Structure formats: structure tokens, C-alpha cells
Amino acid sequence: MNIIAGQIADFLKNYAPFNQLTSEQLAEIANNIRVINLEKKQTLFKINDALHDSFYVVASGVINISVIADAEESIINKCHQGTIFGLRPFFAKNKYKTTAKAREESLVYAIPIAVFKPLLANNSEVLNFLLENFASNLPEDRSTQGNIASDGFYTEKQSEVQFFQTLAYNTTPLLATSDNTAQEVAQLMAESLKNNVIIFEKNGPIGIVTHADLASKIATGRYPVSIPVSNIMSSPVVTVLENVSLAEAQLLMLKNNVTHLCVTVDGTDKSVIKGVISEHDLIAAQASNPGVLIKEVKRSLSSNELKEIRARLTNLIQSSIQKNIPLTHITNIASEINFAILKRAVELSILDLGSPPARFAWLSIGSQGRKEQLLLTDQDSILVFEDVAQDKYIEVKDYFLKLGKKTTATLEKIGYELCPNGHMGSNMMWCKSLTDWLKQYNNWMNATRENSDNLSSIFFDCELVIGELKIENAINNIISENAYNNNLFFDFLGNDALRKNSPLSFFKKFIVEEEGIHKDKFDIKTRALMPLIDGARLFTLSHEIKGINNTYTRFKQLAIADPKHSEIYLNCAEAYLFLTRIRTLEGLKNENSGQYINLEELSKNDREKLKNALYPMKELEELIKDKFQLTQFS
Amino acid sequence: MLDWLKHINKEYPDFWKDYLAKFAKKSNRYVILSTEATGDSLEKDVITYISAFAVVNDTILIKDSFETILLQYRFLHDNHLSNEYIIESRLLKLSEPEALKTFIEYLGNGILVGHQIESSVAMINATLERLECGKLRNEALDIDIMHRKLNEITDDKELSLDELTDYYKIKQTPADSATEKAYKIALLFLKLKFKLGLK
């Protein structure tokens, strides 16, 4: 054996999967290796290049594997010495999906597939190693299994699930016989807003007519509309068994180049039609994807469906947090979906009760109003309807109370607990006409001392769920008008913010619950999050910052509006994010609202971080004391 | 009667005729050559070791390599040297005529590349003459000259292979045999070829 080949074999021996080969096999590989020198930034292969006849091992230097997504090149892998990459030719016959480029001067060994493949047949461990790593794209996998850089970027983890994930599809397909005319079929489709019709005879489906058929054969004028549909249908139709998996359905569509599959009892075209699977069903089934969730929310027809979607949202939040996606992004997405669910819940009630007798607005207040609800916490809402003639008032109010009750009941079924303080649109007190609401806010803000018993600060974070935007604007205007230089009101809010119990004892220990079912747990909601939320609200109102409800963005805005104390605000923003994260993780773990943290279960590191996140709060409290006169209510 | 004249008019060995025939076509194959000899004299000294790698499409083909020890019994005997160590090594060992014959077959019409390639070529030519063959017809590239051209160095100081590998940050190999030299030259050649933009 050549001395250089010997050195290469010695090098390969140190890395998986080569360490599982015999020395003869290694010698065979080393002998057939081609050595490639890459200068800095030189490309080995790029996306859409034809596949090479070999895969690669980094001998020295660093190779970056990147993909282009949204016109932006993003590096998905850095291959260091001993890392395998470019495995695509093993498993796929199409083109490269990634780009390999040298980050510095590098040497790579090209191992011809033709030489390596025979070894795989006798060595299933090596084959599995390559397969697993081709299919996974997770960096943590690699650390446990050796060095390999996957280029199967599009094969995501969930792909395995696809093999047994079943599909929900249309089980009441439109049917027509072959002697129906094209026009009749088109009419049928238009009436039911479907894009396909199955053509059947007595012993099963014989073809399918889709929008595409109508467009290419009728609309082009090739056939008259009166022609029997059998002349324009696509035939034969691809049929499948009832419990077809997502992956299989996908493969069948690709293989046959069709957009619809017909489901029959025994999977042949000689039996009873059970339904039709369209491309949309496939997309919907792959959906733990925010866009699809929202779309499904909009289509759902019952609280059960919404509940199922909310459960998927929880999964989405959980996996996003684990993937270290910034919490602000997750909150944005989650609140969009939450709002869609709330909106749908109101819509469902309207569908049930008939259209409302007056214009109205359903506003979320509290955490939903601030758009920072990640967990299933309690629901807070108010209902405002437009002013109506005196004689109609009772009737209208009656309708909206019913609407409120129905909606809150739906939401409760979905999993949002009822508000223990009754802050909901179903409550007589919080379902009022616009004039009454404006009066209410006026009372609260101008005569705070007399009305403080039913006043809660959450009424000042509101966001429109469904209804008239004008009503929401009216409410927001009255708040900001009344807030202007209203010291008394601010003092009330300031006191409210400071009334929350402090989180740390004099000796810098966490103060935990002393009794009840949450004994020895830390109440992160009231002791840590609420003071920050209240503080943020107080300062945004007093600085007249409008239209921002989110605590994090409020702090960010405050840092700009009040540069003198910007450091305190920014610290609070970060602390808020960290506390939310801890709370969300706890809530996901225990499937509750995450209000009480079991400190024992936190790692020492997290405990320290948690403690540190509580310090900005102290500074914020000092700032509140400094700025507002708090003596009037205390 | 005139047979002896024919012999003088160079009736080449068969392998040499085949070699000459290969030059009808142009080659894209580079042969990276490294030789060892007993000294610099073309008459007195002999080649002891020939090592080569092929470079095609900017890749070094490990399989397409050549590695042979030349058994120089006469030279060793004349100079009272021992041949024990050579005999014991596992490498392919051939006598001078055979080794040259296989090397010429391996080389074909490839373009020669080496470090101070002129002296290697001269040494091989001298050996070929003893075998009643002509001179090598291959083009020859010298990495030292390529390096000068790239960096526009004008002085005559020749750089050793070690200096060049240091300059281009090529990792040192544990030993320093002709094969390892050939491999290092191959790596240098790939770098220089890319930098000079040779096709």
C-alpha cells in the first residue's frame, strides 16, 4: 500500500463511521480517495449542481454548508476535520440542496460512492449511521453520534411522524356520472365551493374533474360546455385506501403527478367511494405551522376543534422555546393565534344566536389584551355595544349578555379558565353600551378615590378581538384624555403596583408561599411579573405613549421616551423576558398557568438568574416612588 | 551485412515506441514526480527511488500513483554498499530497466510536475540512454518556478521544498520519503495552479 494511502487510512480510523470498518476495508477506501484542495471561499458544490460521484470528508480546514432561504444565504453547518458531508448522492438522485464552500484553506478527501457502497451492504451499522445523519439536521444529534454534516435540510424531524400520521380529508366528495355535462359539473362545483368532482359508475370511480381540467379543456374553447363530462375528466383516478398516511399520499401525488386522490373502501377503483384527498389536506396535516393553524381556526366549527388547535399551539410554543427562538417572536405568533381563536369563539356564538342587533366590540383585557399570553391562563374581556334607543336597550343588552355567556362558555371548553373576578363580557357589569363605558372610565380615572373598589388595572390594557374599531378607539381616547396630568389616578396605579409583595426577603432569599397547596413554591406571577407589568403600564400612561400594550415593547419605548432612566427600563425589559420564559417553561411542564414555580426543580444557574432578574424591579419601584406621590392612597 | 547499421540507427524497445505513440493526443493528466538518487552526477550516480501521483481535474488520485525502489546491485557492489535495508522493506522493488519501463508506461503523455524537475528529468534521461531509448518528451513544470512567477520573485535563490511547504502552510508529514515529497508537491501544485489560474 502506498505510504500516503496508509496515512489517510490512519486519519479516517479516528472518525465515525470509518472506525467500524476493518483495516482492509479502510485500505481499500484510502486507496481510492481523491484529494481536493480548496482555497478560501472556493466552492465545492452548490445548490442545484448535479450530484458528484463521491461524498466528502474534511481532512483539514473548515467547510461551510449553507442553504439559500428567502434570498439569504444561511449557514446550516460548519464541518471541521473528520466531518462527513455531501452524502446526498447516496440516498437521492436529484441535485444538491446545499452549498459547500471552504471557509479557509481546506483539504477534503473525496470518497467515491462506487467504492463505499459495497461496504455498506455488509455493514448495517455504517449504513444506519449515514442514513440517520442524512435525515436529521439537529446539531445536538451529531455530538452524540460522531461527526457528520447532514445535507438533508428539507427532511425535517417530523418526517418520521408522517409515516403514521393519518389525514383528515373530505368525506363527502361531489359526485357526478359520466353522462352529466361539463356545465352541470361546473355548476355543482361552483355551488359547493369545491374544486373537484369525482365521476363514478355503479362499481366505483372512473375519473375526476378538477378546476385544472375545466380551465384547460373548457375555458380554452377546445370543448363546448354541453359536452358529456367523460370527455374532459382525468382518468383513471388514483385511488387509495381509507387510512392512507400523509407520507404515502404525498408520494402517490408526486408519482402520478396529480392533485387529488380518491379514497375507496378497498383502495381499488372498483369499490365504494369514501372521500377525496386534496393537496390542501396534505398541507393542513403538516401543520404545526402558525399560518396553517390560523387558517384552521378560521374554518373550525366547534369548541372541540378549537380546543385541539389550542393544544397544537401549546406544542408549537413548547418546541419553539426549546429551539431557542426569541421569546418576543413566539409571543407575537402565539398571540395572533390566540386572537384568532377568541375571534372564532365570538363568531361561533354569533352563528348560533343570529346577527347582533347593534354594532359592538369585544375587547380582550389583561394578559390577552397585552398580547403576551403564552399559556392557557384565565380569560378577561369586556363587551361594548353602540348606543341604541332607550326602548331597544333592554333587548340589545340581553342579546349581548347571551353572546358573552356563550362565548365565555366556549372559551372555557377550549381551556381558558373563567376569570375568578368576573372580568368577562358575560358579566352584567362589563357588558355595557359605549356611553356607559365612557362614564365608567371617567369615574375610575377622575374620581378614583370613590370608585377604587371595582377598579382593576387590567382594564387599561385592552385590545380589539372582533367588532367595531371605532369603539376601541373611543375607549383608548378617553383613557389617554383622562390620563393627561391626572396625578391622583397615577398615584392610585403606583400604589397598586407597589402593593404586590416583594419577592426577596431581607436576606436575599426567595419568599415562598407559606401555606396552601402551593406551599414552598415561588409565586412568580404576583411577586415578579405583575410589578413589572404594572410599572410598565403606569409609565406608558404617564408618558402618553399610545398604542403599545405589550410589556416588553412598553419598556423598550420608555427607554427611548425617558432616556434619563433608559438603563432601568432596558433591564426591566430583559428581566421581564426571562421571567416569562421561566413561567412558560414551568406552565408547559405542569400544564397549568405556571404561576407557582417550584424552586427546587430549577437548576442552580437558573435560580441565580431568576434572582438577578428580580433586581431591576427594585430599581423600578424606586423610580415609581420618586416620581409619584404615593401617600394619598396608602 | 547491414544489420549492425540498423541497430545503430536506434531500434527502440517496444515500450518506448508505445510511449512515443501516446503523444498524438494532448493530456489533461499531471504526473507529480519525486525521485531519489545516489548523487548529482549523471554518469556515476543512479536513481534509487521513483514516486509519483497523478492529478486530474484538480484532484489528487491516490490510486493513480507510482512507487518503486530501484535495485541497483551493480552500483551498490561497485561502491561496496549493503543492500540489506532495501531488501527488507515491503515496497515494490524492481531492477533499473524494469522500473523505468513501468514508469514510462505509467507516465504516458502526462505533464510532469516536480520540485527542481530539471535534475530529475536529466537523471531519468541518462538512465533511459543506458536502455537505448530517447529522451523524455513530456512537458515539465517546476513548482519553484511557478511560485516565483506567482510572487514575481526575480532573484535566483532557489527555495527548498520545505521552505515552499512552510510558505503555503502545508502540514509536515512524519517522515520524508520520496512518496511523501511527491504528495506535498502535489498539494503545492494544486494551490499554485489555482492561484495562477492555470486551466
Which domains, from first to last, does chain B contain?
Answer: 25-196 (3.30.420.10)
pLDDT tens digits along B74-114:
777 777 666 665 656 666 777 888 888 899 999 999 999 99
Question: Can you tell me the distance from the alpha carbon of A231 to that of A208, in angstroms, rounded to the nearest whole number?
Answer: 11
Residues of A with Cβ-Cβ distance to B69 under 8 angstroms: none
- CA of A56, closest CA in chain B: separation in Å? 13
In this prediction, residue A153 carries a pLDDT of: 39
**Is the CB of A105 less than 8 angstroms away from the CB of B59?**
no
Distant-in-sequence, close-in-space partners of B164: CB < 8 Å, separation ≥ 6: B115, B143, B144, B147, B188
Q: Across all residues in chain B, what is the average pLDDT?
A: 83
**Is the CB of B62 less than 8 angstroms away from the CB of A4?**
yes
- In single-letter form, the type of residue at position A337 comes to I
Pick the residue from chain A with its C-alpha nearest to B58: A36
A38 in Cβ contact with B62 (< 8 Å): no
pLDDT band at A545 (very low <50, low <70, confident <90, very high): confident
Partner residues linked to A200 by β-bridges: A177, A205
The predicted model scores a pTM of 0.46
Pick the residue from chain B with its C-alpha nearest to A33: B62
Mind spelling out the 3-state secondary structure of A585-619?
A: HHHHHHCCCCCEECHHHCCHHHHHHHHHHHHHHHH
pLDDT tens digits along A151-202:
443 333 333 334 444 566 778 888 888 888 888 888 888 888 888 888 888 8
Nearest to A2 among B59, B173, B179 (CB): B179
Mean pLDDT of B20-41: 87
- Contact with chain A for residue B165, Cβ under 8 A: no
Burial, A551: exposed, middle or buried (Cβ in 10 Å; 0-12, 13-18, 19+)? Answer: buried
Mean pLDDT of A45-49: 85
B181 in Cβ contact with B115 (< 8 Å): yes
- Give yes or no for residue A24 having a pLDDT over 70: yes
**Is the CB of A2 less than 8 angstroms away from the CB of B194?**
no
Please provide the size of chain A in residues.
634
Pick the residue from chain B with its C-alpha nearest to A37: B190
Question: Can you tell me the distance from the alpha carbon of B136 to that of A359, in angstroms, rounded to the nearest whole number?
Answer: 99
Domain A290-480 in CATH 3.30.460.10 = yes
- CA of A28, closest CA in chain B: separation in Å? 10
- Give yes or no for residue B181 having a pLDDT over 70: yes
Q: Using alpha carbons, select from A329, A242, A334 the residue that is nearest to residue A288.
A: A334
Give me A110's grid cell.
473525496
Q: Which residues of B67-91 are buried (b: 16+ CB within 10 A; e: fewer)?
A: bbbbbbeebbeeeeeeeeebeeeee
Burial, A113: exposed, middle or buried (Cβ in 10 Å; 0-12, 13-18, 19+)? Answer: middle
What DSSP line would sit under A417-430, residue for residue? PPPTT--STTSGGG
**Is the CB of B61 less than 8 angstroms away from the CB of A34?**
yes
Q: Which CATH superfamily is domain A175-285 in?
A: CBS-domain (3.10.580.10)
Which residues from A are below 8 Å from B when comparing CB atoms? 2-5, 7-8, 30-37, 39, 42, 60, 105, 107, 110
**Is the CB of B187 less than 8 angstroms away from the CB of A107?**
yes
- Tell me which of B6 and A571 has the higher pLDDT: A571
pLDDT band at A371 (very low <50, low <70, confident <90, very high): confident
pLDDT band at B53 (very low <50, low <70, confident <90, very high): very high
- Give yes or no for residue B6 having a pLDDT over 60: no
CB pairs under 8 A between A and B: 53
**Is the CB of A4 less than 8 angstroms away from the CB of B59?**
no
Question: Can you tell me the distance from the alpha carbon of A198 to that of A193, in angstroms, rounded to the nearest whole number?
Answer: 14
A20 in Cβ contact with A125 (< 8 Å): yes
Q: What is the dihedral of CA A225, A231, A236, A237, to 10 degrees?
A: 10
Residues of B with Cβ-Cβ distance to A8 under 8 angstroms: 62
pLDDT band at A148 (very low <50, low <70, confident <90, very high): very low
In this prediction, residue A159 carries a pLDDT of: 35
The answer to whether the Cα torsion of B148, B154, B159, B164 is positive or negative is negative
Question: Can you tell me the distance from the alpha carbon of A363 to that of A376, in angstroms, rounded to the nearest whole number?
Answer: 18
A236 cis-preceded (ω within 30 degrees of 0): yes
A354 φ/ψ sector (left φ>0, alpha ψ -120 to 50, else beta):
left
pLDDT tens digits along A556-612:
888 888 888 888 888 888 889 888 888 888 888 777 778 888 888 788 888 888 888
Mean pLDDT of A104-117: 88
Partner residues linked to A510 by β-bridges: A504
Q: Using alpha carbons, select from B30, B13, B12 the residue that is nearest to residue B190.
A: B30
Topology alike, domains A3-153 and A290-480: no
Question: Can you tell me the distance from the alpha carbon of B104 to that of B110, in angstroms, rounded to the nearest whole number?
Answer: 10
**Is the CB of A107 less than 8 angstroms away from the CB of B53?**
no
Residues of A with Cβ-Cβ distance to B191 under 8 angstroms: 37, 39, 105
**Is the CB of A36 less than 8 angstroms away from the CB of B62?**
no
When mean pLDDT is compared across A133-147, A437-451, A462-476, the lowest value belongs to: A133-147
E strand residue ranges, A265-378: 273-278, 360-365
Mean pLDDT of A257-273: 84
- CA of B9, closest CA in chain A: separation in Å? 40
Q: Using alpha carbons, select from A21, A35, A60 the residue that is nearest to residue B186.
A: A35
Domain boundaries, chain A: 3-153, 175-285, 290-480, 484-627
In this prediction, residue B30 carries a pLDDT of: 93
Give me A380's grid cell.
378577561
In this prediction, residue A285 carries a pLDDT of: 66
The DSSP call for residue A245 is B
In this prediction, residue A167 carries a pLDDT of: 64
Give the right CATH number for A3-153 from 3.30.300.30, 2.60.120.10, 3.30.390.50, 3.30.465.10.
Answer: 2.60.120.10
Distances (CA, A) of B18 to A263, B108, B122, B126: 70, 9, 21, 20
When mean pLDDT is compared across A236-240, A373-377, A569-573, B44-48, the lowest value belongs to: A373-377
In this prediction, residue A154 carries a pLDDT of: 37
Residues of A with Cβ-Cβ distance to B194 under 8 angstroms: 37, 39, 42
Mean pLDDT of A64-74: 69
When mean pLDDT is compared across A156-160, A320-324, A508-512, the lowest value belongs to: A156-160
* Coil, strand or helix at A354: coil
**Is the CB of A37 less than 8 angstroms away from the CB of B187?**
yes
In this prediction, residue A160 carries a pLDDT of: 36
Nearest to A3 among B169, B177, B195 (CB): B177
Distant-in-sequence, close-in-space partners of A491: CB < 8 Å, separation ≥ 6: A628, A629, A630, A632, A633
- CA of B95, closest CA in chain A: separation in Å? 19
Q: Using alpha carbons, select from A166, A173, A185, A178 the residue that is nearest to residue A262.
A: A173
